[in-house]
Amino acid sequence: MASRIETTDPFDPATIPLKDVHRARCPAPPEALFDLVTRLGGEEGWHGTDPLWRLRGAVDRLFGGVGMRKGRRDPATLRPGDPVDFWRVEAVGPGLRLLLRAEMKNPGVAWLEFVVPTAPGGSELVLTSYFRPSPFWGRFYYLPSYPAHWLVFERMARDVARAAGSRRGGG
């Protein structure tokens, strides 16, 4: 695990105007939950949200984007610059933190941040989606798509935490 943040792009959450935070408790220790987070994508998939990501990938391809590449450099480890389906690893660390930047076509820039702090009885997954919209089209895209994004990220946080708890035998 990196002792300092490793990044390929400056990222300051305070400068991102639109964000959505999802939290899920997990009986597993933080390291076990974060291990599962770093295995997302590729063959591991996105825990219950794969069909929606495939649909998003198909739409992306239609508009000339990379689509759902379905792949990673390594199934268990990540480093800055690695591709994860249609995301790119921006940062791993400090601590139990992963930041992905969307490579799909968007009228703006989107990130997914996973942070795993200790919580009573285990850990917590804090999944935050950030979106820096382009002036007009970005908000036009974001507002109607927000309910779908909320459902995808809420389910992903819940299902990843549940899977980590099950792997440890705790839930």
User: Are 55 and 68 spatial neighbours (Cβ–Cβ below 8 Å)?
Assistant: no
Which region among 12-21, 61-70, 86-95, 110-119 has the lowest average model confidence (pLDDT)?
61-70
**pLDDT tens sequence across 43-54:** 888 887 888 888
Query: What token pair was written down for 168?
Result: 């440890």
> What is the average pLDDT value for the chain, to the nearest integer?
86
CA distances from 93 to 4, 53, 98, 100, 128 (A): 6, 25, 6, 12, 15
Mean pLDDT of 24-40: 96
- Average the pLDDT over 130-140 and give the result: 88
The single-letter code of the amino acid at 126 is: V
Helices (H), the chain: 30-37, 50-62, 137-167
CATH of 19-167, one of 1.10.3430.10, 3.40.50.2300, 3.30.530.20, 3.40.190.10: 3.30.530.20
**1, two tokens:** 């695990």
pLDDT value of position 2: 39
113 within 8 A of 98, measured Cβ to Cβ: yes
DSSP one-letter code for 15: G
Given a cut of 60, whether residue 9 has pLDDT beyond it is no
pLDDT of residue 54: 83
Task: Report whether 129 contacts 102 (CB < 8 A).
Answer: no
167 band by pLDDT with thresholds 50, 70 and 90: confident
pLDDT above 90 as % of the chain: 51
Distance (Å, rounded) from C-alpha 104 to C-alpha 109?
Answer: 9
Q: Has residue 56 got a pLDDT over 90?
A: no
Which contiguous run of DSSP H or E holds residue 93?
none
Structural domain spans, the chain: 19-167
